[in-house]
A and B are shown apart, each in its own frame.
Chain A
Amino acid sequence: MSLVEEFVKAIADLREKDALELVKKLIEQGVDLSTILDGIRKASDIIGRRFEEGRYFISDLIMAGEILREITEILRPIIVKEKPKKIGTVVIGTVQGDIHDIGKNIVVAVLEANGFEVIDLGVDVPPEKFVEAIRKHNPQVVGLSCLITEGIESMKKTIDAIKAAGLKEKVKIIIGGGRVDEGACKYVGADAWARDVQTGLRIIKEWVGVK
């Protein structure tokens, strides 16, 4: 097994120490950034698949998200220098009135691992903030996360504000989080909904035109 393959396997199997050691080794050995990033993408794919097959659970996703975050931290100086091409930009946040962010943070980690530029607005984000961020960052996709039923109204308000600002034509909007469904999606006027990160990733990739 090559070092990169070992690296992919360590991430996918959630062996934190091994994965972090291996990424350092890869850097030391001068393996280029795009190969490492490709490995991260592969690992994240395997993790997503295991989740869909019911072999991984949320706890595993949290740990995976943490490992991906730590690896990105280690790679940051190189990323800053080499500026690898991003496959798209996503503005994401937990809507106003809601502070749950565990799921959103997983989505952020997975999107970043897949080469997206992610603007994370945090939690309890008022509609104006989303509008402002869309103007500033020009994303193709906006992701709204919400875990409380109350948040459905907030998502509607947010999307209404995006429409009122004349920005709806420029972005695709996906909503996610434990309590969203088809009905909520229609009601708030989003383009899609997802109750798990893998479905969300697939939809977002489709929107930006990557497989």
Chain B
Amino acid sequence: MGGGEIDVPKVEPEELFKQRLERLERAIMLKEPDRVPIWAFCCFLPVKYLGTTYAKIAYDYEEFKKGTIKFASDFDFDTITAVPGIIGTTVLGLALIEEHPDIAPPVIRMTGPIHDILQDRYTKWPGRELSENTYPQFVGGRFMEADEYDKLADDPLTFINETLIPRVYRSLEKPSSARAYGTLIKLGTELAKLSKVTRELVMELKNKLGYPIFPRALTEVVLDIVGDFMRHPTYTIMDLYRVPDKVRNACDSLAPLATKLGIIGGQTASKLKELYGVNIVLVFIPLHLNEFLSPKLYGEFYWPYLKKLIEDIINAGFTPWIFFEGDHTPHLETLRELPKGKIIAMFERVDWKKVADIVKGHQCIMGGLPGSLLISGTPKKVEEHVKNLLELMKPGGGFILAPAEASSLDFKPENLRAAIEAVKKYGTY
């Protein structure tokens, strides 16, 4: 973007921080803010726009930091979520959660250098298995057979530590080896680097640009852990038809670990509240198999675990931020079983009218800007879209506009700008 077009903030960062924070907090608490807040949710940064490559962003934390700052200063968002990698190693977090709760939560993060260290089979990276400018790929796989559910159910930690991890991480293939020991030491060093950069980034966003960032942890619903990291989504689904009882038993014994990962993660993140100048601590829970399941299977294998997870996290004092990936429309009613105003419900390609009917006024709702519109639409179409969406979602507060997908936003800048302008025009209270 040419310098002249940039919305240079006339307001001091400190004042901006206060305004944005209040806007976000009020929306989360189901109140009316001054206007609808905008949350830049990028799984990966828009490399084309930033004039960089995926390889650089994934492997060079400074480049990632610079990119995030540029994106956040070129566009007037209210907060931004960006990570230099992808969710890749949730099982490592689970593996450590009982013995080493203090270091388990950060261990779930995956970046280029961490992939190099762990040599995991879950992911492929630009400049390594992929070309320089390819999006990093979580490919997952089938690392466990259906006849191993009993072992998993009997003793999930032993199964994860002794069977799963050596299968997934080439560097940890042989547990009592110099290679494995060295790997863990290197991983620790790398994670320290990553958390230092993350902290610096948040402080720069706060102090220079007036962006509030909520500290955040992550966990997943058990069926997704099985699907993403153990059995592969396709086989997990087939297992529900073929060996439902075995899957249920495994879910039952894994569930407490998943909850613990979320809560300990929340406690770890809480330590940053003061530094970041915010009061809300998020526990992010992306959902994967939700869309796949019929209401019957959802009610049997998914919702009971998700509901309990959400309730436990709320009771621990944190705000579950649930990403209902895919089309969650068939399961919307269940959200009314949750305590009011305690979660952020982020939707993707849902039926927004039904969301307005069923969820609005009950939980803070987030999403609404499809990536395809930002790529292939026009500023006029984007404005129309935002106007219509806000007509539906704005009244009464409790709505945050966000690009609905964890995409890298290979977008047209003028379209994103049009979305932000539209929120300013139609989103005030």
Query: Which residues in chain A, 178-201, are within 8 Å of chain B measured between CB atoms?
Result: 178-181, 183-184, 186-187
A59 touches B376 (CB 8 A): no
Q: A99-B137, A183-B376, A184-B376 are in contact. List 6 more A-B contacts (CB 8 A).
A: A16-B241, A57-B330, A60-B294, A148-B407, A149-B409, A179-B372
Please name all residues of chain B whose beta carbon is closer than 8 Å to the beta carbon of A14 when the two chains form the complex. Answer: 241
Q: Name the distance in Å between A211's Cβ and chain B's nearest Cβ.
A: 29
List 10 tightest A-B contacts by C-beta distance, closest first: A149-B371, A187-B376, A149-B407, A57-B294, A58-B292, A183-B376, A62-B237, A59-B292, A59-B237, A184-B372
Q: Which residue of A lies closest to B291 (CB)?
A: A58
A66 touches B238 (CB 8 A): yes
Asked if B153 CB lies within 8 Å of chain A CBs, one says no
A153 touches B375 (CB 8 A): yes
Q: Name the distance in Å between B66's Cβ and chain A's nearest Cβ.
A: 22
Complex-state Cα separation, A47 to B21, whole angstroms:
49
Please name all residues of chain A whose beta carbon is closer than 8 Å to the beta carbon of B240 when the two chains form the complex. Answer: 59
B293 touches A187 (CB 8 A): no
Asked if A150 CB lies within 8 Å of chain B CBs, one says yes
Q: Which residue of B lies closest to A126 (CB)?
A: B131
Asked if B408 CB lies within 8 Å of chain A CBs, one says yes
A149 touches B137 (CB 8 A): no
Asked if A56 CB lies within 8 Å of chain B CBs, one says yes
Please name all residues of chain B whose beta carbon is closer than 8 Å to the beta carbon of A97 when the two chains form the complex. Answer: 134-135
Asked if A63 CB lies within 8 Å of chain B CBs, one says yes
Q: Which residue of B lies closest to A180 (CB)?
A: B372
Known: A97-B134, A150-B407. A63 touches B375 (CB 8 A): no
Asked if B349 CB lies within 8 Å of chain A CBs, one says yes
Asked if B316 CB lies within 8 Å of chain A CBs, one says no
Asked if A174 CB lies within 8 Å of chain B CBs, one says no
B377 touches A183 (CB 8 A): yes
A178 touches B292 (CB 8 A): no
Asked if B139 CB lies within 8 Å of chain A CBs, one says yes
Residues of B within 8 A of A (CB): 134-135, 137, 139, 233-234, 237-238, 240-242, 291-294, 297, 326, 330, 349, 370-373, 375-377, 381, 405, 407-410
B238 touches A63 (CB 8 A): yes
Please name all residues of chain A whose beta carbon is closer than 8 Å to the beta carbon of B408 when the two chains form the complex. Answer: 149-150
B294 touches A56 (CB 8 A): yes
Q: Name the distance in Å between A104's Cβ and chain B's nearest Cβ.
A: 11
B372 touches A183 (CB 8 A): yes
Q: Which residue of B lies closest to A101 (CB)?
A: B234
Q: Name the distance in Å between A78's Cβ and chain B's nearest Cβ.
A: 25
Complex-state Cα separation, A179 to B375, whole angstroms:
12
Complex-state Cα separation, A57 to B330, whole angstroms:
10
Proximity string of chain A (50-73) to chain B, C-beta cutoff 8 Å, 1 when within and 0 when not: 000010111110110010000000
Asked if A159 CB lies within 8 Å of chain B CBs, one says no
Asked if A165 CB lies within 8 Å of chain B CBs, one says no
Query: Which residues in chain A, 1-36, are within 8 Å of chain B measured between CB atoms?
Result: 14, 16
Chain A count of residues within 8 A CB distance of the other chain: 29
Please name all residues of chain A whose beta carbon is closer than 8 Å to the beta carbon of B349 when the two chains form the complex. Answer: 178-179
Please name all residues of chain A whose beta carbon is closer than 8 Å to the beta carbon of B405 when the two chains form the complex. Answer: 149, 179
Q: Which residue of B lies closest to A152 (CB)?
A: B375
Q: Name the distance in Å between A14's Cβ and chain B's nearest Cβ.
A: 7
Q: Which residue of A lies closest to B407 (CB)?
A: A149
Please name all residues of chain A whose beta carbon is closer than 8 Å to the beta carbon of B370 when the two chains form the complex. Answer: 179, 181
Query: Considering residues A16, A102, A153, A183, which has the most beta carbons from chain B within 10 angstroms of its beta carbon?
Result: A183
Please name all residues of chain B whose beta carbon is closer than 8 Å to the beta carbon of A63 when the two chains form the complex. Answer: 237-238, 241
Please name all residues of chain B whose beta carbon is closer than 8 Å to the beta carbon of A179 when the two chains form the complex. Answer: 349, 370-372, 405
Q: Name the distance in Å between B71's Cβ and chain A's nearest Cβ.
A: 16
Query: Which residues in chain A, 100-122, are within 8 Å of chain B measured between CB atoms?
Result: 102, 105
Checking A57, A99, A152, A187 against B292 with a beta-carbon cut-off of 8 angstroms, the contacting residue is A57
Proximity string of chain A (124-151) to chain B, C-beta cutoff 8 Å, 1 when within and 0 when not: 1000000000000000000000001110
Complex-state Cα separation, A153 to B70, whole angstroms:
24
Complex-state Cα separation, A99 to B137, whole angstroms:
8
A59 touches B372 (CB 8 A): no
Q: Which residue of A lies closest to B409 (CB)?
A: A149
- The 28 sampled A-B contact pairs (Cβ below 8 Å) are A14-B241, A16-B241, A54-B330, A56-B294, A57-B292, A57-B297, A57-B330, A58-B292, A59-B240, A59-B293, A60-B294, A62-B292, A63-B238, A66-B238, A149-B371, A150-B407, A152-B375, A153-B375, A179-B349, A179-B370, A179-B372, A179-B405, A181-B370, A181-B372, A184-B372, A184-B375, A186-B376, A187-B376
A149 touches B294 (CB 8 A): no
A62 touches B372 (CB 8 A): no
Please name all residues of chain B whose beta carbon is closer than 8 Å to the beta carbon of A187 when the two chains form the complex. Answer: 375-376
Q: Which residue of B lies closest to A66 (CB)?
A: B238
Complex-state Cα separation, A83 to B291, whole angstroms:
38
Q: Name the distance in Å between B296's Cβ and chain A's nearest Cβ.
A: 9
Complex-state Cα separation, A181 to B371, whole angstroms:
11
Complex-state Cα separation, A180 to B371, whole angstroms:
10
Checking A99, A124, A152 against B372 with a beta-carbon cut-off of 8 angstroms, the contacting residue is A152
Q: Which residue of A lies closest to B375 (CB)?
A: A152
A62 touches B238 (CB 8 A): yes
Complex-state Cα separation, A14 to B296, whole angstroms:
15
Q: Name the distance in Å between A102's Cβ and chain B's nearest Cβ.
A: 6
Complex-state Cα separation, A96 to B44, whole angstroms:
17
Please name all residues of chain B whose beta carbon is closer than 8 Å to the beta carbon of A59 when the two chains form the complex. Answer: 237, 240-241, 292-294, 297
Complex-state Cα separation, A105 to B234, whole angstroms:
10
Please name all residues of chain A whose beta carbon is closer than 8 Å to the beta carbon of B291 when the two chains form the complex. Answer: 58
Known: A57-B293, A183-B372. A150 touches B241 (CB 8 A): no
Complex-state Cα separation, A153 to B240, whole angstroms:
36
Please name all residues of chain B whose beta carbon is closer than 8 Å to the beta carbon of A149 when the two chains form the complex. Answer: 371-372, 375, 405, 407-410
Please name all residues of chain B whose beta carbon is closer than 8 Å to the beta carbon of A124 when the two chains form the complex. Answer: 137
Q: Name the distance in Å between A122's Cβ and chain B's nearest Cβ.
A: 12
